[in-house]
A and B are shown apart, each in its own frame.
Chain A
Amino acid sequence: MKPDTVVNFDVALVERARGGDAKAFERLYREHVGRVHGLCLRMTRNPDTAADCVQDAFIKAWKALPRFEARASFSTWLHRIAVNTVLEKRRGPAKAEISVEDPGEYEEPTMVFDTPVEEEELEAAIESLPQGARDALVLCGLYGYEHQEAASMLGIAVGTCKAQLHRARGLLKERLERGVR
């Protein structure tokens, strides 16, 4: 699974936005806000905090445009800023303590369910995950980032990311079976 590839017209808009064209940036906002918001919402679990993060992320993106390399994916770059924003917003250490095991031990995150699950129930189960596991699951399992990319975004080691993802899968399965709310 791969994150969205760059849509061609993004490049033109980014160039114009870089030149100070706020309208071009607004078009980029309109195009990407849904995804950025979805990411922030699932990571923060709070609509108000998510909205704050979205606003902050786009403002930071605007200011950082001069440093954006046109060849890279704007979408990925934007998500990275959004994740950073969420992490900055978090207060106090809320990371799960888990040892980093051999990265090779973990299989790829295929989150396929044997029987279909209600969307609402699945969202609730994701929301109930501990922070570290949730972050890894959202970025890798939902938004399709590779472990390396996700780990870099989260500021953790690749191995830790894989471990968190593995943990997330286990907890998710367990909670869905139990019918957690």
Chain B
Amino acid sequence: MTTRRVKDLAELPRDIPPARDLWPAIAEAIRADLAMKAVPDSRRRVGWWPAVGLAASVALVAVGVFIGKNFKQDQDQALAAIHTAAPDNDAGMIKASLRQAEYEKQRDQLWTEVQAKLNTMPPAEREKVGASLATLKKSIKDIEDALGRDPANALLQELLVNSSQEEMRVLTTVRDSGRQEL
């Protein structure tokens, strides 16, 4: 292919379209900005998500899990609750860390109780349920790893909140299974 010849720098094209349409990501940011503007000032958390990274994301999951503790909460509500609760100062971050510690303690306790429960199950069932629980644990880890590389990713945040809530629900179900409630 022969290129054209120019005599003046100004003859070079100024317009070079990008290889792909960059608008969708811009549109997404605009939507987020408009949504943020629709929220009253006191509840805005502009720029908070990108700033804080994985640890805080996980802390907010803890908040979300507590807020959605009855496991029936609509996921939009849970995410909105998280954003509302998102701390915008050091004191808030400390509170979130405390909730994080509480959440982890409750989660660890549940895992211990579930392990004890698994030990009472027949081998075939223990293996089946144990494998499912391991899958759940791994999936949460996979999401956390991805979130660590991209803390502001809304999809990952949503998946983490929902999967963590699901984990608590499943652990509770397995722990309480077989208790005759009637």
Binds A, one of B26-34, B90-98, B123-131: B26-34
Closest CB of chain A to B44's CB: distance in Å? Answer: 13
How distant is the Cα of A38 from the Cα of B14 in the complex, in angstroms? 6
B51 interface hit (Cβ, 8 Å)? no
How distant is the Cα of A54 from the Cα of B13 in the complex, in angstroms? 17
Q: How many residues belonging to B are interface residues under a CB distance threshold of 8 Å?
A: 29
A111 interface hit (Cβ, 8 Å)? yes
B7 interface hit (Cβ, 8 Å)? yes
- Chain B positions 1-57 with a Cβ under 8 Å from a chain A Cβ: 3-20, 22-23, 25-27, 29-31, 33-34, 37
Contact B15 A35 (CB under 8 A): yes
Using known A-B contacts A20-B34, A111-B10, A141-B10, determine if residue A41 contacts B23 with beta carbons closer than 8 Å: no
Contact B8 A113 (CB under 8 A): yes
Closest CB of chain B to A167's CB: distance in Å? Answer: 15
Using known A-B contacts A22-B34, A144-B10, determine if residue A55 contacts B20 with beta carbons closer than 8 Å: no
The residue that B30 contacts in the complex, of A25, A37, A51, A117, with Cβ under 8 A, is: A25
Using known A-B contacts A29-B23, A123-B12, A142-B14, determine if residue A59 contacts B34 with beta carbons closer than 8 Å: no
Residues of A bordering B, CB below 8 Å: 1, 20, 22, 25-26, 29-30, 33-35, 37-39, 41, 47, 50-51, 54-55, 58-59, 62-63, 111-113, 116-123, 137, 141-144
Q: Show 30 residue pairs from A and B whose CB-CB distance is below 8 angstroms, ordered by the A residue.
A: A20-B37, A26-B27, A29-B23, A29-B26, A33-B18, A33-B22, A34-B15, A35-B14, A35-B15, A37-B16, A37-B17, A38-B13, A41-B16, A47-B18, A51-B19, A58-B26, A111-B8, A111-B9, A112-B8, A112-B9, A116-B5, A116-B6, A118-B5, A119-B4, A120-B3, A122-B12, A142-B9, A142-B12, A142-B14, A143-B14
